[in-house]
Every structure is written in C-alpha cells, then in structure tokens.
Structure 1
C-alpha cells in the first residue's frame, strides 16, 4: 500500500509514518509518497493515488495544525490510527553560525523555536517553507542559509548540525493521524489488523451546534460525563460561515461500538446540526521507536 506524507524525505511526517508502521507484520509491504503540503495528502486519498495518509494534527508547544482540522471536516476520510513523534529541532547549515543570514523552516518549526531565534538570531531573515525537510533541502544551496529541521534531515541532505535541540521547550511532541478514504476503511483495517481486541481505543468526532443558545455545548459535554466517558481533547475551530460560528473537535476514550459510547452519540446527534464520525482507532502507546 502507498502512504502519503508531507515531504520531501527527512520530514517529521515521514518519521511518523515509519513509527506507526514499526512492528506491523506487513511493515515492508508499504511505500511512502511525498507531497508538497498537507492538502495534497488529503487530495491524494480522494484521487486514489495513495491508500493511507499520515498528517500532523497538534503540537505540544504550538497547538493544532489548522489545515489538518479543516481537511478532516471537508474531506470524506476516516481515522484508523494515531502516533506521537518526539520533535527535536536542530539548526542545520553547510556554513558557519556567524555567517547565517536566512533561516528557513515550516511555520510550526519557526513558531516552536520563537524564543531561541529571538535570543540568538535577532534581525536574521526568517522564511517559511512547506515542511522542515524542504527547508533542509533548500539550505544546501547557500552557506548563508540555515534550516530548522531534524537530525535525520541533516543526514539526508549532508548538512552540519550547528546547534541541536533549539525548540523553546524540551518536551516537544506532535500527534499525527493516520487517515484513509472512508469507503476503504474496513478493507484497509482488515489488511493492517487495526481492529485487534488487544488495543485500547480512542474515538474522534466533529460536532457543529448549528444554533446558538445558552447551554448548548454543556448539553453535549454532559452526555459524556453522565456515561463516564473520558474526553481527551476538545477544540473549537471557525466554521468559516460567520464570525463567532464554530465547529468542535472532540476526542474521547473508548470504541464506537461500546454501549455507553453508542448511547452518548445517539443522544448527541439529536441536539446538534451536524455530527461527523471520524473513527475509532488504537490509542497510541509510547515505545522505543517513538523516542
């Protein structure tokens, strides 16, 4: 199967895909395809050019990746897995630190290193790129250019690690979703054995209230509380229909076929304008390959 990730080679999305695949019986039956941006990964699923996509969802320093949230709402995809990657940004270049005039990285990469850049490279031009690995590839062109990217990207493109661990917080992690076209979900899960009874599960949904009234969100959250369902994440995102109009992204523990969750979803559907089920998937468990 083909797996679409944000490229080029050496990206954290590539690392996430390999980490998710690690230990699977058919790990070697998959190939990676690299795309210029996150939208292209989603589009590749729609056009059947790839079978699976791996996209960044949220970062422990900078929060959610807005484009991924928007695409999850707009595209007909299902979530079949998650993985969490430890982010270790390095300053990479083929020149010397004192000669750097331009620093490149993905917007999230620059934001996660904001204080470092202010303290050590005040006045240096910052440029955004489609990914951290794209920044590393561009930094090979001139010694006055540097990139904020991974040590894997340094090896991939022959760059020196001028300064390691430049993120503003030592604990820096990004959560990735593994997504597939909705109509192929059961088939792909059967191949990768995603529905093993041995797993603990999480479920993700998107809710649009569709009417502004006192207590509307409370009514939704009460359904989870009354059935002792543990919410692991809730986030609002503009609906893009009107100012102050939002959709809500909700993650919680458990599998969609669990009786208490089925009951909660049934009750919530009658209280909202839209409920999109993204899917139930094995909960990420940290291991040696995630460090």
Structure 2
C-alpha cells in the first residue's frame, strides 16, 4: 500500500498515517510518500499515484483546515477512516536558547503557540513553512534557527529539544482523515478499538430562506441522529452564501441514516456524502 502524507518525515501527518496503518492491522508492507502540501497529497490520490492519503482536517485549538475542506468538496475522494493525534509542539534547534533569531513552523503550529512566542521570543523573526517537519529540516542548517515541531522531528533531523510541550493549551489534538479515490473505495470493516461509525456530508442549501437550515437539521433531530460537528464554510459564489459540513454518528447504509439523507436531498441544492468510516485515537 502506498500512502501519501504531508512531509517531510517526522510531520504529524506522518505520525497519523503510521498510526492509522497500525490500527487497521495492515500487515503488508506500506510505503509513505511525502508531499509538500495538502493539495499535492490530494492530487496523488486522485491521479492514482498513491492508494490513499492522510490529511489534517481539524485542530482542537485552531479549528478546521480550510484547504482540506475545500478539496473534499472539489475532489472525487471518499473518507475511509479518521485518526486523532495528540499534538505536543516542541521548540527545536541545533543551538541554544540564546542563539535563536528565527523561528520556523507551519502556520497552524505557530498559531497554536502564539502566546508562548509572544512571551519568550517577541523580537524574533517568524517564518512560515509547509509543515512542522519541513521547519525542523531547515532549522538543522543554522544555530540561530529554531523550529516548532514534534519530538519525532527532533530525532529525524538531529535537533535538541530546548523546550517541550509549548502549545498555549495543553489539550491539543488534530483530527486526520484517510482518503481514497472514490472509484477505488473498499469497505472498511475494522471495528476493534474504534469509535462508533461516523458519516460526513456536505450540504448546500442554495435557496436562502428563513428556516431552511432548521429544516435540514430537523431531519436528523426527529430521527434522534447525533451530530458530532457542523460547520459553515463560504461557497465562494457570493458573500453570505455557505456550505455546511456535517459529521454524524452512524453509517450511511443504516436504514435510519439513509432515510434522513433521502429527505435532506429534496431540501438542498447539493448533497455530497463524503463517506462512512471508523475512527481511532493515538496515545501520546
């Protein structure tokens, strides 16, 4: 199995992909291919260069990953699994604390450590990178550079952990989803140590009228279907026009879920079922 992830090695996506493979009990040899950004990971899946991809979708501090949500709408892919990874950002460098003049990291990681940076490095230059592991790789070049990244990145690139666990909120988790090109989809039957089955959809109401969202959500409520997440995102068609990303408990093949989706489809301009899947959580 060939799996595409945001790289280079040592990224949280890397950790998520390896964790998902292990939780699935996949015994054949798996190869991870690292890409520079999330868009490239999607492209590799769609073009068949990888069997699947693992991408971040949501962080408990900074919220959703917009590019992932957009590409789930635009791409012909199916979500086949999710894994939640505890995030422990560390300050990594080849040099000492007093040497640091530049801090590098992914924008999400920088945002998750905003207060730490302000408190300890207010006058330091901040540079963004494509991933936390890319920041660690660059920080290996000069003593004056530091990266905000994982302890795995420190090991991968020979850096010292100057300060561990530096995110502003200690309970920090990122949710990743495993995606596969829709026409290559296989049914995931693994349930050991998994969450209940979850289904993700995107709904576009289109007709902006009073009560339309209430009616959509009512189809779930009257069937006692629990929604675990609902988020609006601009449709990019006009200001104030939104899509709704919804996660719910249950499988799209369940009679009650199937009935709800059938009635919702008649109330919206577009309904896309992203997939039904199991979820796992990695230990620290």
Using the size of structure 2 for normalisation, the TM-score is 0.97
1:202 is matched with which residue? 198
For the residues of structure 2 that align with 1:23 and 1:264, how far apart are their CA atoms? 31
1:258 is matched with which residue? 254
Task: Assess, with a 3 A threshold, how the Cα gap between structure 1 residues 214 and 181 changes in structure 2: closer, same or farther.
Answer: same
Tell me, yes or no, if structure 1 residue 18 matches structure 2 residue 12: no
Q: Deviations over 1:69-98 (max 9, x none)?
A: 000000000000000000000000001111
Secondary structure of the residue aligned to 1:109 is helix
CA contact (8 A) 1:19 1:290 kept: no
1:272 is matched with which residue? 268
For the residues of structure 2 that align with 1:225 and 1:235, how far apart are their CA atoms? 17
CA contact (8 A) 1:8 1:35 kept: yes
1:224 is matched with which residue? 220
How far 1:290 sits from its partner (Å)? 2.7
How many residues are treated as equivalent by the alignment? Answer: 282
2:35 is matched with which residue? 35
2:123 is matched with which residue? 123
How far 1:23 sits from its partner (Å)? 4.0
Secondary structure of the residue aligned to 2:185 is helix
Q: Deviations over 1:231-288 (max 9, x none)?
A: 000001111111111101000000111111111000000000000010000133x3xx
CA contact (8 A) 2:191 2:278 kept: no
Tell me, yes or no, if structure 1 residue 290 matches structure 2 residue 283: yes
Structure 1: give runs of 5+ residues left out of the alignment.
none
Q: Deviations over 1:46-71 (max 9, x none)?
A: 11100100000000000000000000
Task: Assess, with a 3 A threshold, how the Cα gap between structure 1 residues 204 and 99 changes in structure 2: closer, same or farther.
Answer: same
How far 1:22 sits from its partner (Å)? 1.2
Secondary structure of the residue aligned to 1:67 is helix
Tell me, yes or no, if structure 1 residue 241 matches structure 2 residue 237: yes
Q: Which deviates further from its counterpart, 17-26 or 161-170?
A: 17-26
Secondary structure of the residue aligned to 1:22 is helix
1:2 is matched with which residue? 2
For the residues of structure 2 that align with 1:25 and 1:56, how far apart are their CA atoms? 21
How far 1:25 sits from its partner (Å)? 3.5
2:151 is matched with which residue? 151
CA contact (8 A) 2:78 2:181 kept: yes
Q: Deviations over 1:152-172 (max 9, x none)?
A: 000000000001000000000
Q: Which deviates further from its counterpart, 108-117 or 26-35?
A: 26-35
Structure 2: give runs of 5+ residues left out of the alignment.
none
How far 1:121 sits from its partner (Å)? 0.4
For the residues of structure 1 that align with 2:190 and 2:34, how far apart are their CA atoms? 29
For the residues of structure 2 that align with 1:251 and 1:25, how far apart are their CA atoms? 25
For the residues of structure 2 that align with 1:138 and 1:196, how far apart are their CA atoms? 39
For the residues of structure 1 that align with 2:25 and 2:109, how far apart are their CA atoms? 33
Aligned Cα RMSD in Å? 1.1
Task: Assess, with a 3 A threshold, how the Cα gap between structure 1 residues 121 and 27 changes in structure 2: closer, same or farther.
Answer: farther
Secondary structure of the residue aligned to 1:290 is coil
How far 1:217 sits from its partner (Å)? 0.6
How far 1:196 sits from its partner (Å)? 4.1
Secondary structure of the residue aligned to 1:283 is strand
